[in-house]
Amino acid sequence: MRAIVMKITPLLFLLFCVAAFSQNHSIENGVLYKEAGRYGGWPANHGIWSWGNEILVGFELGYFKLNERGHAIDYSKPAEHVLARSLDGGKTWKLERPKSLQPPPSVKVAGVPAGGEGKEAFDCPGGLDFSKPGFIFTARMADIHVGPSRYYYSYDKGHNWEGPCNLPNFGQPGIAARTDYIIGGKKEMTVFLTAAKSNSREGRVIAVRTTDGAKTWKMLSFVGPEPEGNDFAIMPSSLSLGKGKFLTAIRHRQFIDLYGSNDDGATWQHVSTPVPNSGRGNPASMIKLKDGRLALVYGYRAEPYGIRARLSSDQGKTWSDDIVLRADAGNWDLGYPRSVQRPDGKVVSVYYYNDSSEKERYIGVTIWQP
């Protein structure tokens, strides 16, 4: 008999790896929202929340338009800030369009009015109760470099929202807020924000806090040094380890860094670089699993484009090799994930994705077992 020799190319090897990981990690990829001619994007900016098998995630819904260098979204048309809710652990989703989350008329995107019909931001009177079971918080920005920024809050799991309320600049050139916060008590919340660098370009991470239910805020610290040159340190994904210990994963232009604080956010130390190369750069979605491990999910913006994860068993000091959740995207315009863990232990990761560079961007979902 003639022996059959098969050449193992890098792509073929990756496909073998994906098949092995899929078997070990019970990976199920699906679609949360997809519509021809539309652009669903950036869940990491908006946030994700869960109550058992009820999951709520936010994202931006615009119109698709090819752009040779940037995101394939038509900035000349208004974009909605929408939510999607699942009551069955991420298997099925229903779109929600709260009018109270729409941008104010004054907000511009890429210099063009966003077409928002929401209220203008105002100063919060304070007295918010962060300990209520249905409380959630989401932050927004008007410009990726200098803001201004605002936030909204809900007491009933996102069915109704109050705001927008002004976020201070904390003495920085500007604040480009996205949703990343840790509740510390009835009136205390720590929020992680992206501030403009000293040259008013994006950006670097700061930690801020309120202890009076959002009436006043104070800046706690810079997280890490100011990036040099055209690098940035933006889009934190943070968690509490208890007893004043925090971790935050920060997006750089081509990698993801991890910083930790042991003194309630006053000072920070570099812990590790969980993702040395993420291609064109993508933010992390970092969560603490029920068994104490950390899971970090990110978009991989180099060929083969897709979504990947890593795990840590020592509070972020070391990380596993990549778990390839999927590697079938058409180009780099993807990612910005957010994740939650279900009661059964499986992780639900939501992100934006594409099947081709010339087709709509949609919101994908992966349910996987770490």
Identify which of 17-21, 116-120, 324-328 has the greatest average pLDDT: 324-328
Q: Which amino acid is at 244?
A: G
Within 10 angstroms of residue 331's Cβ, the number of other Cβ atoms is 17
Q: Six-digit token pair at 28?
A: 């199920």
Whole-number mean pLDDT of the chain? 93
Contacts of 268 (CB under 8 A, 6+ apart): 221, 222, 223, 224, 248, 259, 260, 261
Q: Which of 126, 120, 129 is nearest to 150 (CA)?
A: 120
Over residues 295-316, the pLDDT tens digits come to 999 999 999 999 999 999 999 9
Task: Tell me the sheet residues that pair with 311.
Answer: 295
Instruction: Provide the pLDDT for residue 4.
Output: 38
- Under DSSP, the state recorded for 73 is B
Question: At CA 200, angle to CA 302 and CA 219, rounded to 5?
Answer: 100
Q: Which domains does the chain have, with CATH numbers?
A: 10-368 (2.120.10.10)
Over residues 100-145, the pLDDT tens digits come to 999 888 887 666 676 778 899 999 999 999 999 999 999 999 877 7
Pairwise CA distance, residues 49 & 80, whole Å: 19
Q: Which amino acid is at 261?
A: S
Burial class of residue 70, CB neighbours in 10 A (0-12, 13-18, 19+): exposed
Q: Six-digit token pair at 265?
A: 């956010």
Quick one: pLDDT band at residue 9, thresholds 50, 70, 90?
Answer: low
* Chain-centroid distance, C-alpha 257: 15
Q: Which amino acid is at 364?
A: G
Torsion of CA 279, 207, 268, 251, to 10 degrees: 0
Task: Tell me the sheet residues that pair with 166.
Answer: 150
Pairwise CA distance, residues 10 & 30, whole Å: 26
Q: Which of 132, 177, 139 is nearest to 155 (CA)?
A: 132
Percent of residues in the chain assigned helix, strand, coil, to nearest 5: 5, 45, 50
Whole-number Cα distances in Å, 346 to 27, 80, 90, 262, 336:
10, 30, 10, 29, 20
Q: Six-digit token pair at 151?
A: 């936030």
Q: Which of 76, 174, 201, 184 is nearest to 130 (CA)?
A: 184
**Higher pLDDT among residues 69 and 257, named by residue:** 257
Q: Which of 93, 101, 118, 120 is nearest to 31 (CA)?
A: 93
Q: What is the pTM of this model?
A: 0.92
Instruction: Provide the pLDDT for residue 17.
Output: 52
